[in-house]
Amino acid sequence: MGDLKLTTVEEMEAATARLLETGAKVGADAWQLRVKNQTPHCKFGEQGVCCRICAMGPCRITPKAPRGICGCDVHGIVGRNYLKFTAGGAATHSDHGREICHTLYAAQPDGAYKVKDPEKLIRIAKEWGVETEGKDIYDLAHEMAETALMEYGKPFGVQRWLKRAPEHTQKLWHDAEIEPRAIDREVATSLHMTHMGCSSKPEALVRQSLRAGLADGWGGSMCGTEFSDVLFGTPKPIDTEANLGVMNADNVNIVVHGHDPSLSEMVCEYADDPEMIAYAKSMGAKGITVSGVCCTSNEVAMRRGIPMAGNFLQQENVVLTGACEAIVVDVQCIFPALGPLSKCFHTKFITTSPIAQMPDSDYIRFDVGTAAEKAKQIVKIACENFKNRKPDLVYIPDMKQKATVGYSLEALVKTLDGVTNSQVDVTGTTKPLIECITSGVIRGAVAMVGCNNPKIRPDYAHIELMKKLIANDIVVVASGCSAQAAAKAGLMDKAAKDLCGAGLKRVCELADIPPVLHMGSCVDISRMMVLVAELAKDSGLNISQLPVVGCAPEWMSEKAVSIGNYVVATGIDTFLGVDPYVAGSSEMGQWLTEGVRDWVEAAYTVETDIEKLVDKMIDRIEEKRTALGI
């Protein structure tokens, strides 16, 4: 194992500065400039005290005007805003999950989409009590897809996946009346509650925020993860690379960006096709390089080892390299800035989803029926665009790190089994991990998730927190842009074991894993929920007793708030580095950081000082250990 030299945030910033020079040359702006134009932000908005849900407003709460025209106080306004924010996130993740179910419904043995993990499909079918015996696997896939789609709108009952939680957790949810019913219903109920003249009581708004979050994490997101695995394969450890240096100046560079793997899987498939590679060569390139940005990148990295060009706030950088022939996007977290930016270069900005349409893009509508054809068309366009590159604008920072990714729950259980060499059955258990934690070899675990946000020095919080955690023998599971920050820095290189405390280092060596484990995209935080559920069941503890916390130090999206709500509701203390626009209401603050603990045995901590944030997490983990007497 070679010596590891981490890529520092300073180095990444220097590379960005160099790319911004190219931008200045061609008259492109970038988020760094737009942040300046938007600063200072509106104080009312920041505190969550502006209400514009009816046309008597907008009403802004100040000491002199403590109530809106309808009489709503600041707590009601902040609370409604918080619930609306959550509903937006829950809707988004869940709709992504729904798209995956539709893709599964269209899977055919000779079609573009196939069932790649029939075993997992059968396992879920049995879990759901669907008859599998003697059934054709595609018939079963279609039946399961339809059953899953029903979860979105069924008139009665609660989410099927809830049964995966320990009984204690299920009881807490039931008693707190936060078991999510149909997914769409929780989103609609949230929007109903936040309509003018409905709920203005923080307790009720927070309760529904947790329920809508659970509809996401234990509903729509779980559908997204589980059925993506069925369609595209359950991730296994695989080597890849990360950071802008994965782009190749000699090749046609296609960058996939967004979230839904249905598109990126097909693009990767055709970029690998000998016919397409020959076509790229006929255009003067040496080959085709597909790399990714944001969660769609995580999806294809986990399953195919496709390299990760960057995370959220690096999306403009891929175009600024001047070497991007096409940036192909599906849904979510895509900067509308990519339209005008791509016009400053030869880059084709290709939008594909009716859900994410943007000016200055080429819209190639992608659907399951024509997926193969459209993917091929996209790859061809990129190849043909190679000749339009302006060589004097090309600069790809020489910056990349090795990463081992692909730690689905299934893979993790299998890998960690090697640690104790205990004889466990084929399906495996989390007992080896529990042994490591109880013995103190590993002190605990942190789920690091979420985006970048210019309010926090991008990637810095993710990377610094992770370094400190692993040095303290705390294993990190990561997803989303947090995982990409880790990979870009080098923390997913197995050699990063040398940055760990002695205990975690030993575990990394025995299991041959990096200390920061990539569990996937943001919908894959559902994998983390199943992991803690299994840990609780296998240890006989409640989830809230486990020395495990969640953290989103640089989050920015509505989805992240929905995630935070379901992580807390699952019994995991969650630490945020950015305030979710609730600072304006002491009552909302009280509910989120303390009140919810009575219902779900966990709560939020908001701490914008990164040093303090990490210490608070470590303290919480040690408190939990002490309470267990371990």
Note whether 191 binds ligand SF4 by CB under 6 A. Answer: no
Among 481, 519, 528, 568, binds ligand CUV (CB under 6 A): 481
Amino acid at 274: P
* Minimum gap (Å) between residue 559 Cβ and ligand CUV: 5
Note whether 257 binds ligand CUV by CB under 6 A. Answer: no
* Minimum gap (Å) between residue 156 Cβ and ligand CUV: 31
Quote the CA–CA distance of 113 and 231 in Å, as a whole number: 7
Binding mask 326-345 for ligand CUV (x = CB under 6 A): -------x------------
Note whether 22 binds ligand CUV by CB under 6 A. Answer: no
* Minimum gap (Å) between residue 245 Cβ and ligand CUV: 20
Binding mask 420-459 for ligand CUV (x = CB under 6 A): ------------------------------xx--------
* Nearest CA-CA partner of 547 in 429, 450, 477, 626: 626
Return the residues of window 277-316 that contact ligand CUV according to CB under 6 A: 294-295, 311-312
* Minimum gap (Å) between residue 522 Cβ and ligand CUV: 3
Return the residues of window 192-251 that contact ligand SF4 according to CB under 6 A: 196
Note whether 56 binds ligand SF4 by CB under 6 A. Answer: yes
Strand order in the sheet with 444-448: 516-520, 474-479, 444-448, 548-552, 574-576, 604-606
Q: Give the one entry of ligand CUV, ligand SF4, none that residue 451 binds, where binding means its C-beta sits below a cut-off of 5 to 8 angstroms depending on kind.
A: ligand CUV
* Minimum gap (Å) between residue 367 Cβ and ligand SF4: 39
Rg of the chain on CA atoms, in Å: 24
Are 322 and 389 contacting, i.e. CB atoms less than 8 angstroms apart? yes
**288 φ/ψ angles, rounded to the nearest 5 degrees:** -125, 130
Return the residues of window 61-120 that contact ligand SF4 according to CB under 6 A: 68-70, 72, 77
Quote the CA–CA distance of 102 and 146 in Å, as a whole number: 8
The DSSP output letter for 62 is B
* Nearest CA-CA partner of 19 in 361, 247, 192: 247
3-class DSSP assignment, residue 72: coil
Determine how many CB atoms are found less than 10 A away from the CB of residue 452: 28
Note whether 393 binds ligand SF4 by CB under 6 A. Answer: no
What one-character-per-residue DSSP string does 227-290 give? HHHHHH-----EEEEESGGGS-TTSEEEEEESS-HHHHHHHHHHHT-HHHHHHHHHTT-S-EEE
**Which is nearer to ligand CUV, 333 or 486 (by Cβ)?**
333
**Which is nearer to ligand SF4, 35 or 69 (by Cβ)?**
69
Sorted by sequence, the CB contacts under 8 Å of residue 24 that are 6+ apart come out as none
Note whether 259 binds ligand CUV by CB under 6 A. Answer: yes
Q: Which stretch binds ligand SF4 (CB under 6 A): 28-36, 47-55, 104-112, 326-334?
A: 47-55
**Which is nearer to ligand CUV, 291 or 311 (by Cβ)?**
311
Note whether 57 binds ligand SF4 by CB under 6 A. Answer: yes
* Minimum gap (Å) between residue 130 Cβ and ligand CUV: 29
Note whether 49 binds ligand SF4 by CB under 6 A. Answer: no
Return the residues of window 511-540 that contact ligand CUV according to CB under 6 A: 521-522
Cα–Cα distances in Å, from 424 out to 237, 419, 506, 509? 20, 12, 21, 20
Assigned token pair, 125: 């079918």
Q: Give the one entry of ligand SF4, ligand CUV, none that residue 259 binds, where binding means its C-beta sits below a cut-off of 5 to 8 angstroms depending on kind.
A: ligand CUV
**Which is nearer to ligand SF4, 74 or 519 (by Cβ)?**
74
Q: Which stretch binds ligand SF4 (CB under 6 A): 53-61, 394-402, 565-573, 580-588?
A: 53-61
**Which is nearer to ligand CUV, 124 or 293 (by Cβ)?**
293
Q: Give the one entry of ligand CUV, ligand SF4, none that residue 201 binds, where binding means its C-beta sits below a cut-off of 5 to 8 angstroms depending on kind.
A: none
* Nearest CA-CA partner of 68 in 40, 207, 46, 79: 79
Q: Which stretch binds ligand CUV (CB under 6 A): 62-70, 404-412, 553-561, 573-581?
A: 553-561
Are 381 and 326 contacting, i.e. CB atoms less than 8 angstroms apart? yes
* Minimum gap (Å) between residue 210 Cβ and ligand SF4: 23
Find the helix packing angle between 202-215 and 183-193, rounded to 10°. 160
Determine how many CB atoms are found less than 10 A away from the CB of residue 138: 17
Q: Give the one entry of ligand CUV, ligand SF4, none that residue 70 binds, where binding means its C-beta sits below a cut-off of 5 to 8 angstroms depending on kind.
A: ligand SF4
Are 120 and 234 contacting, i.e. CB atoms less than 8 angstroms apart? yes
* Residue linked to tokens 């899953």: 148
**Which is nearer to ligand SF4, 84 or 624 (by Cβ)?**
84
Q: Give the one entry of ligand CUV, ligand SF4, none that residue 333 binds, where binding means its C-beta sits below a cut-off of 5 to 8 angstroms depending on kind.
A: ligand CUV
Q: Give the one entry of ligand SF4, ligand CUV, none that residue 294 binds, where binding means its C-beta sits below a cut-off of 5 to 8 angstroms depending on kind.
A: ligand CUV
The DSSP output letter for 394 is -
Note whether 557 binds ligand CUV by CB under 6 A. Answer: yes
Q: Bridge-partner residues for 476, per DSSP? A: 446, 516
Return the residues of window 376-405 that contact ligand CUV according to CB under 6 A: none
Q: Which ranges of 107-175 would DSSP assign to H, the alpha helix?
A: 118-127, 137-150, 167-175
Note whether 59 binds ligand SF4 by CB under 6 A. Answer: yes
- For the range 534-537, what are the long-range contacts, defined as Cβ-Cβ under 8 Å and sequence gap of 24 or more? 534/409, 534/413, 534/429, 534/430, 535/430, 535/433, 535/434, 536/166, 536/168, 536/169, 537/166
Assigned token pair, 360: 């200055």
Assigned token pair, 154: 């069924």
Residues at the contact surface with ligand CUV, assessed by CB under 6 A: 259, 294-295, 311-312, 333, 450-451, 480-481, 521-522, 557, 559-560
Residues at the contact surface with ligand SF4, assessed by CB under 6 A: 51-54, 56-59, 68-70, 72, 77, 196
